[in-house]
A and B are shown apart, each in its own frame.
Chain A
Amino acid sequence: MVNAAGTFGRSGSHDYILLRASSVIIFLFSLFMAGFFVSTADVTYANWSGLFSNVWMKVFTLLTLTAVLIHGWIGIWQVLTDYVKASGVRAFIQFVFSVGLIVVWLTGLFVLWGV
């Protein structure tokens, strides 16, 4: 058994399930947004902010941002453990990406809060 503290899940299976589950959410959100842009002839501030003022849309968006956080965290860790062998450099890049992903999540939270 290989111990890995840098990843998100508690085990290999946990990581695997989190990656698949989060990808389903991101796919559904992308599909929904594509549908919105296709079905809305003229995207104005009013119908854009109207869409995001719904509670269900806020939850859906925040859920997707959480999925991006988890998916990105595990994915970047997997790529880094393949290609970056110096542990100090790897830890630094992982830190930058993890902080970046959390910043994206928090930004999304406060933007949604204000709509």
Chain B
Amino acid sequence: MKTYTFSIYRYNPDVDDKPHMKEYQLEVEDNQDLMVLEALIKLKEKDPTLAFRRSCREGVCGSDGMNINGKNGLACITHLSSLKSDKIVIRPLPGLPVIRDLIVDMSQFYQQYEKIKPYLINDDKTPPARERLQSPEDRAKLDGLYECILCACCSTSCPSFWWNPDKFVGPAGLLHAYRFLIDSRDTATEERLDELDDAFSVFRCHGIMNCVNVCPKGLNPTKAIGHIKSMLLSRAV
């Protein structure tokens, strides 16, 4: 048996004056490797007051984003063995208000996502009868963009988003913004760029690539943001 020590951020605003870290022990069979989420579920069986979000438990829904040993990630696809330590510190995603324990209020994150109009805009007067066709080359431009599951691991690891969550769109929102800017079927490119051309929305990204480092889907928001900056700058000069 191997014993893991978990130090978990606990805060229940109805009971606690301030947040605190609580320690738990969990024994795992030597030939067994659990995901962090499975470990949390086992700990919750012992202490039902522990609160965290989870749903699909396979890295698709993006519900269980949390800070594991200092790095944001999805608990359901992070192996305990990958953490290379038997001491595991779990905190909520940084920068967002904590509702309870590991559950954060994602309102600001979603407001930024809403701002970039994450849907196809097409002003063709005569829409095709069946579907808007795309060439394989144009479709390929969406790869690496559409896969984002909005888990918020990237945006909450970004200092620019911590300091200005009301003004800087953040890596997740900007990845989606570029997904629609580059879509051959979208006709609102200019309007979308107009909305982004201020000193905060895009340009507060200084390219430190924390977002790339933590993305559980292996996406590259910094590259997408670079493309948006190029589109804005080529319009400006």
Name which residue of chain A comes closest to B169, CB basis.
A2
Give chain A nearest CB distance to B117 CB in angstroms. 13
A80-106: which have CB < 8 Å to B?
Answer: 81-83
Q: Is the CB of A13 within 8 A of B163?
A: no
The verdict on A1 contacting B164 (CB below 8 Å), with A13-B236, A17-B233, A17-B237 known, is no
Number of interface residues of A (CB under 8 A): 17
A9 lies within 8 A of chain B by Cβ:
yes
Bound-complex Cα distance A53 to B200 (A): 43
Name which residue of chain A comes closest to B231, CB basis.
A13
Q: Is the CB of B163 within 8 A of A11?
A: no
Chain A 18-43, CB within 8 Å of chain B: the 1/0 string?
00000000000000000000000000
Q: Is the CB of B163 within 8 A of A83?
A: yes
Give chain B nearest CB distance to A77 CB in angstroms. 8
Q: Which residues of A contact B229 (CB under 8 A)?
A: 16
Q: Is the interface of A mostly helix, strand, loop or mixed?
A: helix
Q: Which residues of B contact A3 (CB under 8 A)?
A: 198
Give chain B nearest CB distance to A22 CB in angstroms. 15
B203 lies within 8 A of chain A by Cβ:
yes
Chain B 190-204, CB within 8 Å of chain A: the 1/0 string?
000011111111111
Bound-complex Cα distance A27 to B203 (A): 22
Chain B 150-191, CB within 8 Å of chain A: the 1/0 string?
000000000110011001000000000000000000000000
The verdict on A81 contacting B164 (CB below 8 Å), with A12-B232, A15-B203 known, is yes
The verdict on A2 contacting B203 (CB below 8 Å), with A14-B236, A17-B237 known, is no
Q: Is the CB of A11 within 8 A of B198?
A: yes
Q: Is the CB of B163 within 8 A of A82?
A: yes
B132 lies within 8 A of chain A by Cβ:
no
Bound-complex Cα distance A1 to B194 (A): 8
Contact of B201 among A1, A7, A17, A82 (CB under 8 A): A1
B69-121: which have CB < 8 Å to A?
Answer: none
Q: Which residues of B contact A82 (CB under 8 A)?
A: 159-160, 163-164
B130 lies within 8 A of chain A by Cβ:
no
Number of interface residues of B (CB under 8 A): 22
Bound-complex Cα distance A102 to B143 (A): 48
Q: Which residues of A contact B200 (CB under 8 A)?
A: 2, 4, 12, 81
B18 lies within 8 A of chain A by Cβ:
no
Name which residue of chain A comes closest to B198, CB basis.
A2
B235 lies within 8 A of chain A by Cβ:
yes
Give chain A nearest CB distance to B197 CB in angstroms. 5
Bound-complex Cα distance A16 to B232 (A): 10
B195-224: which have CB < 8 Å to A?
Answer: 195-204
Bound-complex Cα distance A4 to B233 (A): 19
What would be 16 A-B contacts, judged by CB atoms less than 8 Å apart? A1-B196, A2-B198, A2-B200, A2-B201, A4-B199, A4-B200, A11-B236, A12-B199, A12-B201, A12-B203, A14-B236, A16-B203, A17-B236, A17-B237, A82-B164, A83-B163
Interface residues of A (CB under 8 A from B): 1-4, 7, 9, 11-17, 78, 81-83
Given contacts A1-B201, A11-B198, 5 further A-B contacts (CB under 8 A): A1-B198, A9-B199, A12-B198, A12-B203, A15-B199
